[in-house]
Amino acid sequence: MTAHPLLSVEHAQKRFGGLIAVNEVSFSVKQGELVGLIGPNGSGKTTMLNLISGLLKPSAGRISFGGEEITGLPAYQIARRGIARTFQLVRPLASLSAIENVIAGAAFGHVRIWGPDAYREAEILLGRVGLSGRGNAPSGSMTYIDQKRLELARALAGNPRLLLLDEWLAGLNPTELRIGIDLIAGLRDEGRTIVMVEHVMDAIRSLCDRCIVMSSGAKIADGSAHDVLAQPEVISAYLGSEDA
């Protein structure tokens, strides 16, 4: 385990005109950690993920990955360096089949497999997320949970060094939630580094080594899930100051 963090965010800021969505946020993620990024709606969590994945350029601050600066790089270059993500509103590539979706995640990144090899690896991944045998299904007409699994498989296909999950457990019923949490736990046990934006507190408590709490664009807490969720600032950010 290296001493240097895998991901390092320093004083990241994102402004949209007069609105400051991410306000001088700094944190780091070590290799193999599963960090939860939590906070009430509108706190800037997804924007923070978007800054890391390259969907948005930071207005100020630095982001480094594996010791290399990635601030302001276009998304495709960040993806090629080994960061993969899922999206808050699931984005299946609707006119592609399930297996093609998975191959899409692998064909262009640093893995770059193609042809029969790609199909074989994709089949394995589909099995991993619980979609074995469904490779030829049109992804546009799959159920919501299946599309989510597909998106996860696509993100994993590139063998990312860092996986970003944007509210991946949202909208699942209790059974599906159980399956989802187990899936992510499995990924953590493999040693993958994961940052997950989440609202589902059970998942946060059971999965995350560490939690970073954001509110109104700023970071207000950073520590173990248990400690952080008991802090008065965090409780008041979610529920209002009366319940602290």
Partner 1 sequence: MTQMRSQEWWTLAVAAIGLAVAAAIPLYDDGYYLSLSVNIAIYVVLCTAWTIFSGPTHYISLATAAFFGIGQYTVGLGIESYPFAVLVATAGVIAAALAIVVGMATLRLSGVYFVIFTLGLAELVRQVVTWLQTNFTNAVGLYVFTDFGEKHVLWMLLALAAVIYATGWLINRSRLGFAMRIIGNDETVARHVGINVAWSKVVLFAVSGAFIGIAGAILAPRYAYIEPPSAFNPVLSFQVVIMALLGGTSRLWGPLLGVIPFTILFDFISAHFPNHTSLLIGFAFVAIVYALPRGVIGLVDDLRRPQAGAEKARTSAEATQ
Residue ranges that bind partner 1, judged by CB under 8 A: 53-55, 74-76, 79-80, 84-85, 87, 91, 93-96, 100, 103-105, 107-110, 114-115, 118, 140, 154, 158
Least distance to partner 1, CB of residue 158, Å = 7
* Beta-bridge partners for 83: 162
Q: How far apart are CA 51 and CA 58, in angstroms?
A: 6
The smaller minimum CB distance to partner 1, of residues 96 and 177, is found at 96
The smaller minimum CB distance to partner 1, of residues 48 and 84, is found at 84
Least distance to partner 1, CB of residue 138, Å = 8
Question: Which residues are CB-contacts of 72 (< 8 A; sequence separation ≥ 6)?
Answer: 57, 58
Given a contact cutoff of 8 angstroms between Cβ atoms, the answer to whether 5 and 12 are in contact is: no
Least distance to partner 1, CB of residue 242, Å = 40
| Strand ranges inside the chain, DSSP E | 7-16, 19-29, 34-38, 60-65, 68-69, 83-85, 162-166, 193-197, 210-215, 218-223
The smaller minimum CB distance to partner 1, of residues 139 and 215, is found at 139
Nearest to 194 by CA among 5, 22, 30: 30
The smaller minimum CB distance to partner 1, of residues 18 and 115, is found at 115
Least distance to partner 1, CB of residue 84, Å = 7
